[in-house]
A and B are shown apart, each in its own frame.
Chain A
């Protein structure tokens, strides 16, 4: 069964802490994405990657960075967490050139920043 796995389902961090969210997919997908999901808003793209060591900014990259050292792993980093980064974070992957838009999502990481 194909799978996108996010390292933590629930995290609680304090303002100013560094936060790592990890995502691993076992489908050999080229594309990987990080979104955040907030009530009343659509999914918002933070960063994406089409290849190892490659990254592109999405719509809301401020306050975030990413790392893609291996094809199957895409990490989201919050260098200094702030309360407005409290959210649900969703990782997704897809095949390169998948213009049908079929993304495979992880189950999400709910981050609370106090």
Chain B
């Protein structure tokens, strides 16, 4: 079956750090992705992890542990423009993307 979970909503303060977790259960796995979606806009690609470890890209980093079925997106030096939904998705054995419901991140001044 397909099972992927992430928190529905998180709140953080401008300038701080926030970690958004994503857990999944699957018998076939070909990588995990994070997308950002601002309200009323298209999702945009943030990161892709297929090997265990941390991938850093500016203020954003993404981590994967395949053995634990776990990933997180780390956002540093939060800015108001980071207020958005963050979508986690894994690529299954058929190379189809299986999506989480998204985490709405609210940044407060």
Contact = CB atoms under 8 A, between A and B. Distances in A.
Interface residues of A, number: 19
Interface residues of B, number: 24
Contacts of B101: 40-42
B97 interface: yes
B102 A42 contact: yes
Contacts, number: 54
B42 A42 contact: no
A90 B31 CA distance: 22
B54 interface: no
Nearest to B95: A99
Interface of B: 4, 8, 30-31, 33, 35, 40-45, 48, 87, 89, 91, 95-102
**7 tightest A-B contacts by CB?**
A42-B99, A105-B42, A43-B99, A102-B45, A107-B42, A101-B33, A42-B101
